[in-house]
Structures are given as structure tokens and as C-alpha cells.
């Protein structure tokens, strides 16, 4: 019962377990079914689909792209229902709330009655969407089944040329082999990123445009070979996966004590972030990956700090870019608050020190340069803890330089919705106050031990709404009891500072420097 409950709490496509994700890709790749799903049901434009046809595993890219928009497993389940696509529905059934299981039974009855031919989607009728707020888009709250797919645009496909396929979540899905059922398949030899002219183009463009990328002469970090990283991770074994983020998979080093083989990179405990393997013949994807890697290298190489994750080296000579970091033995703050890995509960004093260190790192990023560096994705899973539970800010894939004063308009909203303020989601005005707001949500997490977004809460699924639903006299009810009773007054301080940081209007939120001083002086 507990296992089934855990399954149905998996909300997003990228939460699917490895095996199910792999099998789903196989179903969609068969007979090019992915094209029907992408074009007719996910409303992807023609240029995107033409690009995907050149990929060895196009279904993976379709799911990654849709997953990046935080579409849910249930939404995919409903799409398959409309297609009468039984096999993937059966695969997803354990991860869908029982109230939607009748859709699978409908398909079963249909298949039993007659031979089925896939229906063409009605481009002019209103489709139905699941009544759960999508965590990447602002939507009105609705109940049960509501609009699943937006009405198909009547504009021609060429009007969507500028649709960007950047920063998709990565879940390792190997190519199926006819002679093996092994899910842990890796290519025997890496295909190098040998076309360094692309690197030159990117670095020259970045210098011309004065953006956050760097020229090759500015690289002071050592380079590692891709092959030695393959060895260090036991050929990218899924057993060595530490986490899967929006754009990459992070591996720990492989150590085989029985064979006396030390897989650590240079005898140093590290974590290796590997970007998604792409088709080297596709310059677009290659440029995207290198740009994302360069952005993170530039930031971590130019702004070292005791509360920023140390970057040791990088690799660009293999089939995909890789970054090598110091290993954080205690995982993320999110891991610690959820007691993953049999970790001990954090005390109030430990939580306070984590908050202080995180605020110190953020105010440093905002003030060290001529222009503030906005992290853009502050959340508990991006705050990493070392052996001594000291926090390090990680994952700078969404970081952007902000304006010298006030804010600026951006064309694309990046980040995780439960940690983003409404004014940013609606007006797209980027400023340091975005990080301040996100930090306020982290303070709520530290105080309550609750998720920033929890669909199982009957009301107030967003943590900010949940916390502010309790008045001052009742707030003790939401205190995280796992933190103990010693120094529990820190709980109130977290709530008060969280309220300050998450004010509705940006002008009413503080900069991170006074937030750090407040925390440090408590």
C-alpha cells in the first residue's frame, strides 16, 4: 500500500523511474508514434519535429521537452487515452491517481469491441486538461478534468520558428539493443566533440555580445579527458547516479573495494555532471550544451566563495560536456529535510547555520560584480551540504546577469514555479528580488520541513499559501517536530524572515545583504 501511494505521488514526467521511462520511449519510437504525440497532441511545431527526426531516440527528446514545461504524468496518460494507446497507459497506470483509471478501462473495452484505428485529434474542439496546477505555468485552479491541451493555434507553423529547445531535463535512456535486455547499456566508445570550430563560434559570439560566456583564454580550470570520467563512474552506471536535474545527470565516482579499484577522479572524491548525450551532427544541440556548460564554468570559475559549490575541472573532448565538482557528502538540503539516505534530522541550530551560509552566498553573488548575478533557481535541492553540513549553492544552469539598477524584462521565464513570485511569472521582470523570494520559500521549508509544493495537501498546495493560512497563534502547529525543542525560537525567526522575503511586491522585499545580516545577528 505504501509503495502504491508513493508511486501515485510522482507528479511529473521526469519523476518516472528509469525502467518505465525507457519502456515509454520504446513504445513511442515504434512506428514513429512520437510524431503523432508531438505534433497533434503536444502542439510542437514542424521545425522542431524535423529536428527530432534526425535523432536516434526522438521520443526521449519529446518527453524531455514536455517534461521541462512540468507537464504531468496524468496529462500524458490522458493523451494516450485519446489516442487509444493501451500499452503506455498500462505502463503509467501505477503512477496515476486511481480516479483516472477508468480511462484505461475505456480503452480496454474499445479494443475488445473492434479493431481500433487511431483517431485524428479535433483541432477545433476543446480538449481536457487535468485539474492540477502546473508548476511551471500560471493557471487558474480548476477541479478534476479540465483543459488538457490548449486549442490548436490557427497560425501557420512557420510563425513558430523561434520556439527554443533549450535546457530540457535529462533522464538517461539508452538505445535498446536487439540482443540484450540490459537497461544499463552504454556506448562502447565516446564520440568526441571534435568540431572545435563550434566552440570558437560560441566564444567569439559571447565576447561580441558581452554576455556571461567566456573566451578560451579565460579558462583557468584544468581539463579532464572524457575517457577517465567514464572509468570513474563505472561507464556511467545508473547505480552511481546522485541526481537528475533539469539539464543533466550527476554521478558519484565509482569505487570497487573488492577488486581494490579506486575509481575516484585523481584520488579525489568528486561528483560529475554529465550533459545529455546528443547527436554530434546536430550543431544546434551541440551549441546549446556547450553554452550551458560555459555559463556554469564562467560563474563558478570567476566567483569562488565558501558557500558556492567548488568546480574542479571540465571536459569537452567526449560525446557530451562534463563538469567535475567537489563531492557533497550529505547531499542536498531537500534530501536532509526528507531524511533520505537514513540521514539524521537537522536540529534548529544546524538549520540556522545552513540558512546563514546560503544567504551569505547569495548576497555575494548579488554584490561582487559590476552587475548582480541572479541564480534564478534557488531551492532546497540546489543547496548542497558537505561533510560538516555547510551549505554550497549549486546548479547555475539558469543563472543570468541582472541589470545594474532595478530590473529588466526577459523573454523567457526560467526556474521552478513554487519558488518564483507571481510578479515574475506574469510580468517577466528579472531582478535580485527573484532570488530573495526563492530564499524565503527555503526558509519556510527549513521551518516546517514541508514541500514547497505538495499536491496531497487538500488546500494551499503552495507552501507560501499554506504557511500564511496560519495566524501567529497557530503557527506552532506547522513547526517541524523533527528538529527537536532546543533553540526552537529559530522557527519563528524563519517564518518572520520568510514573510519578509516573500512579500507580494518586489519593492517590499529586501535585498539579500540585509537578510544575511538579520540571520547572522540572531
Catalytic residue (choose from 36, 234, 335, 377): 377
Query: Residue 491, Cα to own-chain centre: how many angstroms?
Result: 28
Query: In CATH terms, is domain 2-151 a member of 1.10.533.10?
Result: yes
**In the chain, ranges of CATH 1.10.510.10 domains:** 333-521
**In the chain, ranges of CATH 3.30.200.20 domains:** 196-326
Residues 390 and 387: their CA atoms lie apart, in Å, by 7
Q: What is the pLDDT of residue 166?
A: 32
DSSP 39: I
Residue 377: active-site member:
yes
Q: What is the pLDDT of residue 288?
A: 57
Query: Which class would CATH give 196-326?
Result: alpha beta
Q: What is the pLDDT of residue 99?
A: 87
Whether 267 contacts 305, CB under 8 Å: no
Q: What is the pLDDT of residue 342?
A: 83
Q: What is the pLDDT of residue 143?
A: 35
Strands (E), 357-431: 373-374, 383-385, 391-393, 400-401, 408-409, 429-430
Spell out the residues 6+ positions from residue 318 whose beta carbon is closer than 8 angstroms to its own: 190, 191, 192, 193, 225, 226, 227, 229, 230
- Please write down the long-range contacts of 496-503, taking CB distance under 8 Å and 24 or more positions apart: 497/440, 497/443, 498/440, 498/441, 498/443, 498/444, 498/447, 498/467, 499/440, 499/468, 500/440, 501/436, 501/437, 501/439, 501/440, 501/443, 502/421, 502/437, 502/440, 502/441, 502/444, 502/464
Q: What is the pLDDT of residue 110?
A: 75
Whether 148 contacts 75, CB under 8 Å: yes
Q: Of the candidates 493, 393, 406, 394, which has an alpha carbon nearest to the alpha carbon of residue 443?
A: 493
CA atoms within 13 A on the CB side of 298: 23
**In the chain, ranges of CATH 1.10.533.10 domains:** 2-151
Spell out the residues 6+ positions from residue 266 whose beta carbon is closer than 8 angstroms to its own: none
CA atoms within 13 A on the CB side of 505: 2
Task: Pull the grid cell for residue 499.
Answer: 514573510
Q: What is the pLDDT of residue 481?
A: 94
Q: Is 326 helix (H, G, I), strand (E, B) or coil?
A: strand
Per-residue pLDDT of the chain in tens (522 residues, 90 and over written 9): 455 555 555 677 877 887 888 888 888 888 788 888 888 888 777 767 776 777 778 888 888 877 777 788 888 888 888 888 888 888 888 888 888 888 888 877 777 665 444 444 443 333 333 333 344 433 333 333 333 333 333 333 333 333 333 333 333 333 333 333 332 323 333 334 444 444 545 444 444 444 444 444 445 788 899 988 988 888 888 888 888 765 678 998 865 544 444 456 787 889 999 986 544 445 555 565 666 677 778 777 778 899 999 999 988 888 788 899 999 989 999 999 999 888 899 999 999 999 999 999 999 999 988 889 999 999 999 999 999 999 999 988 788 888 877 778 887 788 889 999 999 998 889 999 999 999 999 999 999 999 999 988 888 899 999 999 898 888 889 999 999 999 989 999 999 999 999 999 999 999 999 999 999 998
Strands (E), 375-495: 383-385, 391-393, 400-401, 408-409, 429-430
Whether 488 contacts 479, CB under 8 Å: yes
Query: Residue 322, Cα to own-chain centre: how many angstroms?
Result: 17
Tell me, yes or no, if the pTM score tops 0.85.
no
Q: What is the pLDDT of residue 6?
A: 54
Q: Which residues of 76-115 are buried (b: 16+ CB within 10 A; e: fewer)?
A: bbbbbbbbbbbebbebbbbbbeeebeebbeebeeeeeeee
Architecture of domain 333-521: Orthogonal Bundle (1.10)
Other beta carbons within 10 angstroms of residue 153's beta carbon come to 12
| Element housing 129 (H / E) | strand 129-130
Spell out the residues 6+ positions from residue 28 whose beta carbon is closer than 8 angstroms to its own: 34, 37, 59, 62, 63, 88
Task: Pull the grid cell for residue 358.
Answer: 546560503
Amino acid at each position: 500500500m505504501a509503495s502504491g501511494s508513493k508511486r501515485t505521488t510522482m507528479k511529473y514526467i521526469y519523476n518516472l523511474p528509469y525502467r518505465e521511462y525507457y519502456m515509454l520511449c520504446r513504445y513511442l519510437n515504434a512506428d514513429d508514434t512520437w510524431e503523432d504525440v508531438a505534433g497533434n497532441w503536444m502542439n510542437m511545431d514542424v521545425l522542431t519535429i524535423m529536428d527530432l527526426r534526425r535523432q536516434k531516440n526522438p521520443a526521449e527528446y519529446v518527453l524531455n521537452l514536455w517534461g521541462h514545461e512540468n507537464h504531468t504524468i496524468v496529462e500524458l496518460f490522458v493523451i494516450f487515452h485519446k489516442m487509444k494507446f493501451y500499452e503506455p497507459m498500462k505502463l503509467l497506470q501505477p503512477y496515476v491517481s486511481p480516479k483516472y483509471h477508468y480511462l484505461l478501462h475505456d480503452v480496454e473495452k474499445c479494443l475488445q469491441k473492434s479493431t481500433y484505428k487511431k483517431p485524428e485529434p479535433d483541432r477545433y474542439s476543446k480538449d481536457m486538461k487535468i485539474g492540477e496546477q502546473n508548476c511551471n505555468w500560471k493557471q487558474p485552479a480548476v477541479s478534476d478534468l479540465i483543459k488538457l491541451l490548449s486549442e490548436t493555434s490557427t497560425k501557420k507553423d512557420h510563425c513558430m520558428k523561434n520556439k527554443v529547445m533549450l535546457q530540457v531535463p535529462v533522464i538517461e535512456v539508452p538505445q535498446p539493443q536487439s540482443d540484450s535486455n540490459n537497461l544499463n547499456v552504454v556506448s562502447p566508445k565516446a564520440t568526441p566533440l571534435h568540431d572545435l570550430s563550434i566552440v570558437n563560434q560560441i566564444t567569439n559570439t559571447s565576447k561580441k555580445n558581452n554576455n556571461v560566456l567566456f573566451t578560451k583564454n579565460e579558462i583557468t580550470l584544468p581539463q579532464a579527458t572524457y575517457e577517465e570520467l567514464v572509468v570513474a563512474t563505472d561507464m556511467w552506471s545508473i547505480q552511481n547516479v546522485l541526481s537528475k536535474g533539469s539539464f543533466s545527470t550527476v554521478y558519484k565516482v565509482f569505487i570497487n573495494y573488492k577488486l581494490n579499484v579506486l575509481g575516484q577522479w585523481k584520488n579525489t572524491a568528486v561528483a560529475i555532471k554529465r550533459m545529455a548525450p546528443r547527436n554530434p551532427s546536430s550543431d544546434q544541440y551541440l551549441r546549446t550544451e556547450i553554452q550551458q556548460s560555459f555559463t556554469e564554468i564562467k560563474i563558478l570559475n570567476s566567483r569562488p566563495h565558501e558557500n558556492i559549490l567548488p568546480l574542479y575541472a571540465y571536459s569537452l573532448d567526449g560525446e557530451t560536456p562534463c563538469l567535475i565538482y567537489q563531492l557533497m557528502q550529505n547531499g542536498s538540503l531537500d534530501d536532509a529535510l526528507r531524511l533520505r539516505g537514513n540521514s539524521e534530522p537537522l536540529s534548529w541550530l544546524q538549520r540556522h547555520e545552513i540558512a546563514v551560509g546560503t544567504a551569505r552566498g547569495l548576497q555575494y553573488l548579488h554584490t561582487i560584480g559590476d552587475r548582480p548575478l541572479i541564480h534564478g533557481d534557488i531551492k532546497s535541492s540546489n543547496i548542497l551540504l558537505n561533510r560538516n553540513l555547510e551549505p554550497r549553492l549549486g546548479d547555475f544552469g539558469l543563472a543570468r546577469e541582472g541589470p545594474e539598477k532595478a530590473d529588466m524584462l526577459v523573454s523567457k521565464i526560467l526556474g521552478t514555479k513554487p519558488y518564483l513570485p507571481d510578479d515574475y511569472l506574469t510580468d517577466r521582470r528579472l531582478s535580485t528580488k527573484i532570488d530573495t523570494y526563492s530564499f524565503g520559500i527555503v526558509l519556510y521549508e527549513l521551518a516546517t520541513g514541508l514541500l514547497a509544493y505538495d499536491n496531497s495537501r487538500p488546500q494551499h498546495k503552495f507552501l507560501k499559501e499554506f504557511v500564511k493560512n496560519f495566524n501567529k497563534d497557530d503557527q506552532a502547529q506547522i513547526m517541524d517536530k523533527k528538529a527537536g525543542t532546543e533553540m526552537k525560537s529559530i522557527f519563528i525567526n524563519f517564518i518572520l524572515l520568510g514573510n519578509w522575503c516573500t512579500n507580494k511586491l518586489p519593492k517590499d522585499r529586501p535585498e539579500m545583504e540585509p537578510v544575511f545580516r538579520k540571520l547572522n545577528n540572531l
